[in-house]
A and B are shown apart, each in its own frame.
Chain A
Amino acid sequence: MSTAELLSKQEYKYGFVTDIESDVIPRGLTEDTIRLIVAKKNEPEWMLEFRLKAFRHWLTMTEPKHWPNLIYPQIDYQDIIYYSAPKQKATKQSLDEVDPELLRTFEKLGIPLTEQKQLAGVAVDAVFDSISVATTYKEKLKKHGVIFCSFTEAIRDYPELVKKYLGSVVPTNDNFFAALNSAVFSDGSFCFIPKGVHCPMELSTYFRINNSESGQFERTLIVAEEGSYVSYLEGCTAPKFDKNQLHAAVVELIALDDAQIKYSTVQNWYAGDEEGRGGIYNFVTKRGKCAGKNSKISWTQVETGSAITWKYPSCILQGDNSIGEFYSVALTNHAQQADTGTKMIHLGKNTRSTIISKGIAAGKSNNSYRGLVKVMPKAEGARNYTQCDSMLIGSHCGANTFPYIEVMNNTSSVEHEASTSKISEEQLFYLQQRGISQEDAVSLIINGFCKDVFLQLPMEFAVEAQRLLGLKLEGSVG
């Protein structure tokens, strides 16, 4: 079988569509659209104001088309549906009242939600198109004082907390996509870990886009109070459509004194076909603020999906001695394009950051790392270590590294290392000569290349990530 044949045989197993009756608003975006979303969600006046402020600012902004190393047609923002929700009972007493079709969908995705089958040790918030359909282990977490719920519930039940922190890390006018999200976001997850609590289980959100015409705009807000700890996981998939869907999310993390947040993502949105038809446009703003001293925020991402990825999970290291980490594997195949990296902004004294980025490009894809390390004048003794490695598979793909370093304090130290390599025929032959098939050999080499990042993932996620990379690259060498 030729390489091309092998590739085309490779199925994206999450590509199915759920047939479900949905509450869909007309396409297009005006202030009325926002009022409609607010009405649908029964939101208070302050949310409407937040949204309108963002929207009015958004109207004055232009899409960042020039600086990212990405090529895509103009997005028609009036041709998108900004709210699509599966019809269901207004208030659910228990998970068993969730539409069985939705439960089946998530079960098929490997995320069982019903009480009997829930994943042990992981609480899940399941988001389907524009809304959260279920959150598991909510009660159990509450006993520890941990709040884990959909954003809609958070606005209703914990308005003071939401008001205090929403937009405090990513302001509504931060960038084009963040402003858009702030105007129209429909749901997402809210986590609050009170002072001194070590969250007893992993928290996670699973995002599913189902509607071919709607965008997904969700919001995640995680607040870790003094001395608390939380590990949060995020997964995403979407059906195969010939059209592109827009996903513009905002994630805000706040870590107070001595708090730690570990945020892991395995992103497997539909990537489009070999020719680049269809797939998700993933324009995401993720930022964490180490607000307190000795706090730590750690981002780990495995980016394998999406037609286009534009994403720079960042850390603002405000508290003295705070730590920011970014571990990333970004894999692109076929016609995928990724421009991803991080920003580490050192404000406090003795702040430290580590960036480990592994980019893998196959097919005719384009994979760029873009990262900013900025040391502000008061960041005495700040340190950064950056390592960017790229691996090319085949000779039609591209890998780029765009590091930006701005240092305004001469007691700080910033290190940057970069490498580019190719999987060599000799390497493959060596492994094959030991009885390992070519595909397993590629997988092994790639997993070795990504080891430093996979070590940061929670165990089950690491296994899943390794499997996923192998699957994505099947047949891409030969």
Chain B
Amino acid sequence: MLEIRNLHAGIDGNEILKGINLTINKGEIHAIMGPNGSGKSTLAKVLAGHPQYEVTAGEVLYEGRNLLELSPDERAREGVFMAFQYPIEVPGVSNAQFLRLAYNEKRKHLGEEELDPLEFKDLLKERAKVVEMDASFMIRSVNEGFSGGEKKRNEILQMAVLEPKLSVLDETDSGLDIDALRVVANGVNQLHTPNDAIILVTHYQRLLNYIVPDFVHVLAGGRIAREGGKELAFELEEKGYDWIKTAENGKGAGAPAN
């Protein structure tokens, strides 16, 4: 589904990703871990097409197409979804209005009939159960006055409505208490099917107790420093990131990057 080859990218002329290679197949859950500043969030934003990030080399194929030449909204309509680490507020626009617009954009793209507000309300009510959100959230302005946990749940609600093929969850666990984490993780698990793939970007192993990854990749210094199964996450939890950073620095000095 997703093929990342030798991806180099950065912001304001600073290279952050220095040759990422990653293949993700349908039905898989991949965790991207790593210390602060390793490039985890940059990878997520580059995949979603954030305008401030510049790709300087490499390629990203999504379902066989060059993902990098699509605008952020085209990527979204093609099924790429990113749950934001810091969801944005849109004053005066109700959650329901926003979600319906987004949902109908996708329907239009697929050549399907758009839903009117009443039809959409029913759909929204159904999907909101996934993250245990009640109707009062739908009439409130998008993320305005939401608590940290509510914002994250709202991100997963959007995922539930848009039914993406590839979801990139950027630090969705950050700032969540244990109950909210469980709700969010439950939601993601309910939404995951053999037909979609999920990338979990996270600093902590904690989330992976609830959403169990098939693969774990550890980023350090803009490269993938370690790869393994879910047990790698436990190892990190125990040892911290320092041993990887040390190993990466030692390797970086001698070996050419790809």
Chain A residue numbers with a CB within 8 Å of B72 are 429, 432-433
- The reply to whether B93 and A438 form a contact with Cβ atoms under 8 Å apart is no
- The reply to whether B84 and A449 form a contact with Cβ atoms under 8 Å apart is no
Which of the four size classes fits the interface of chain A? 20 to 34
Nearest residue, chain B, Cβ from A389: B91
The proximity string for A residues 428-465 relative to B, scoring 1 for CB distances below 8 Å and 0 otherwise, is 01111111111011001101111110000000000000
Interface assignment of A160: CB less than 8 Å from any CB of chain B:
no
Interface assignment of B14: CB less than 8 Å from any CB of chain A:
no
Given contacts A433-B72, A435-B109, contact A444 B101 (CB under 8 A): yes
The proximity string for B residues 33-57 relative to A, scoring 1 for CB distances below 8 Å and 0 otherwise, is 0000000000000001111100000
Q: Is the interface of A mostly helix, strand, loop or mixed?
A: helix
Q: Which of B49, B52, B97, B98 contacts A434 (CB 8 A)?
A: B98
Interface assignment of A21: CB less than 8 Å from any CB of chain B:
no
- The reply to whether B93 and A444 form a contact with Cβ atoms under 8 Å apart is yes
Nearest residue, chain B, Cβ from A448: B92
Interface assignment of A275: CB less than 8 Å from any CB of chain B:
no
- Tell me the minimal C-beta distance from B197 to chain A in angstroms: 17
Chain B residue numbers with a CB within 8 Å of A429 are 48, 50-51, 72
- The reply to whether A435 and B92 form a contact with Cβ atoms under 8 Å apart is no
Interface assignment of A427: CB less than 8 Å from any CB of chain B:
yes
Nearest residue, chain A, Cβ from B72: A432
Q: How many angstroms from the CA of A430 to the CA of B82 in the assembled complex? A: 9
Q: How many angstroms from the CA of A431 to the CA of B162 in the assembled complex? A: 13
Chain B residue numbers with a CB within 8 Å of A426 are 88
The proximity string for B residues 82-108 relative to A, scoring 1 for CB distances below 8 Å and 0 otherwise, is 101001101111000110011001100
Q: Which of A430, A433, A440 contacts B101 (CB 8 A)?
A: A440
- The reply to whether B51 and A425 form a contact with Cβ atoms under 8 Å apart is yes
Chain B residue numbers with a CB within 8 Å of A448 are 90-93, 141
Interface assignment of B71: CB less than 8 Å from any CB of chain A:
yes
- The reply to whether B92 and A447 form a contact with Cβ atoms under 8 Å apart is yes
- The reply to whether B88 and A427 form a contact with Cβ atoms under 8 Å apart is yes
Chain A residue numbers with a CB within 8 Å of B93 are 444-445, 447-448, 451
- The reply to whether B71 and A444 form a contact with Cβ atoms under 8 Å apart is no
Nearest residue, chain B, Cβ from A449: B92
A394-447, CB < 8 A from B: 424-427, 429-438, 440-441, 444-445, 447
- Tell me the minimal C-beta distance from A421 to chain B in angstroms: 9
- The reply to whether A425 and B76 form a contact with Cβ atoms under 8 Å apart is no
Q: How many angstroms from the CA of A437 to the CA of B77 in the assembled complex? A: 10
Q: How many angstroms from the CA of A164 to the CA of B101 in the assembled complex? A: 52
Interface assignment of B150: CB less than 8 Å from any CB of chain A:
no
Give the tally of cross-chain contacts (CB within 8 A).
77
Nearest residue, chain B, Cβ from A478: B51
- The reply to whether B106 and A435 form a contact with Cβ atoms under 8 Å apart is yes
Chain A residue numbers with a CB within 8 Å of B77 are 435
- Tell me the minimal C-beta distance from B187 to chain A in angstroms: 17
Chain B residue numbers with a CB within 8 Å of A447 are 92-93
Q: Which of A432, A438, A444, A452 contacts B98 (CB 8 A)?
A: A444
Q: How many angstroms from the CA of A57 to the CA of B82 in the assembled complex? A: 66
Q: How many angstroms from the CA of A338 to the CA of B184 in the assembled complex? A: 48
Nearest residue, chain B, Cβ from A421: B91
- The reply to whether A435 and B76 form a contact with Cβ atoms under 8 Å apart is yes
Which of the four size classes fits the interface of chain B? 20 to 34
Q: Which of B71, B75, B88, B97 contacts A430 (CB 8 A)?
A: B88
Interface assignment of B202: CB less than 8 Å from any CB of chain A:
no
- Tell me the minimal C-beta distance from B245 to chain A in angstroms: 30
- The reply to whether B91 and A449 form a contact with Cβ atoms under 8 Å apart is yes
Interface assignment of B73: CB less than 8 Å from any CB of chain A:
yes
Chain B residue numbers with a CB within 8 Å of A424 are 88
Interface assignment of B158: CB less than 8 Å from any CB of chain A:
yes
Q: How many angstroms from the CA of A440 to the CA of B100 in the assembled complex? A: 13
B128-178, CB < 8 A from A: 141, 158, 162
Q: How many angstroms from the CA of A449 to the CA of B105 in the assembled complex? A: 22
Given contacts A445-B90, A447-B92, A448-B93, contact A435 B84 (CB under 8 A): no
- Tell me the minimal C-beta distance from A418 to chain B in angstroms: 15
Q: How many angstroms from the CA of A209 to the CA of B158 in the assembled complex? A: 48
- Tell me the minimal C-beta distance from A429 to chain B in angstroms: 6
Nearest residue, chain A, Cβ from B144: A448
Chain A residue numbers with a CB within 8 Å of B76 are 432-436
Given contacts A445-B93, A448-B92, contact A430 B84 (CB under 8 A): yes
- The reply to whether A431 and B48 form a contact with Cβ atoms under 8 Å apart is no
Q: How many angstroms from the CA of A427 to the CA of B71 in the assembled complex? A: 15
- The reply to whether B92 and A433 form a contact with Cβ atoms under 8 Å apart is no
- The reply to whether A434 and B88 form a contact with Cβ atoms under 8 Å apart is no
Q: Which of A430, A431, A433 has the most CB of B within 10 A?
A: A433
Nearest residue, chain B, Cβ from A424: B88
Nearest residue, chain A, Cβ from B81: A433
14 new A-B contacts, CB < 8 A, other than A436-B105, A437-B105, are A431-B102, A432-B72, A433-B76, A433-B82, A433-B84, A435-B73, A435-B102, A438-B71, A440-B101, A447-B93, A448-B92, A448-B93, A448-B141, A450-B92
A-B CB contact pairs (8 Å), 17 listed: A425-B52, A429-B72, A430-B84, A430-B88, A431-B98, A432-B49, A433-B49, A433-B72, A433-B73, A433-B75, A433-B81, A433-B82, A433-B84, A435-B106, A436-B101, A440-B105, A448-B141
7 closest A-B pairs by CB? A448-B92, A448-B93, A435-B76, A451-B92, A434-B102, A430-B88, A432-B72
